[in-house]
Amino acid sequence: MARRCAVTGKGVQTGNLVSHSNIKTRRRYLPNLQTVSLLSDTLGQMVRLRVSTHALRSIEHRGGIDAYLTSARNEELSLEARRLKRRISKANKATQAAA
């Protein structure tokens, strides 16, 4: 499983660990990823995603996973998030056509 956020695409960064004697060794900065189940109002079901805590705060700020994905550009979303966005937009169009 990749250490990459499913929504924002935030991944592992690298840098140097610098000791007191100024010796530099490579290290990895891992993102704070959490596996969460988010309720999609449009789909009417829970969606399980592995997202960073920063993305989780952004999703809650925008009013849920549906609102976050519909307002986000496709270029800034991962493949998994784009597929979910497509499912949500199809469900929205189906409910509007039925009404």
**pLDDT tens, position by position, 10-64:** 999 999 999 999 999 999 999 999 999 999 999 999 999 999 999 999 999 999 9
Q: Is pLDDT above 90 for 1?
A: no
Cβ atoms < 10 Å from Cβ of 13: 10
Q: What is the C-alpha to C-alpha distance for residues 60 and 7, in angstroms, rounded to an integer?
A: 13
Which of 41, 34, 43 is CA-nearest to residue 7?
34
Q: What is the C-alpha to C-alpha distance for residues 90 and 43, in angstroms, rounded to an integer?
A: 10
For domain 13-94, give the fold. Answer: Ribosomal Protein L24e; Chain: T; (2.30.170)
Q: Quick one: pLDDT at residue 2?
A: 83
Q: What is the C-alpha to C-alpha distance for residues 68 and 62, in angstroms, rounded to an integer?
A: 6
pLDDT digits (tens, 9 = 90+) for 50-81: 999 999 999 999 999 999 999 999 998 988 99
Question: How do the domains of the chain map onto residue ranges?
Answer: 13-94
Which of 74, 29, 81 is CA-nearest to residue 55?
81
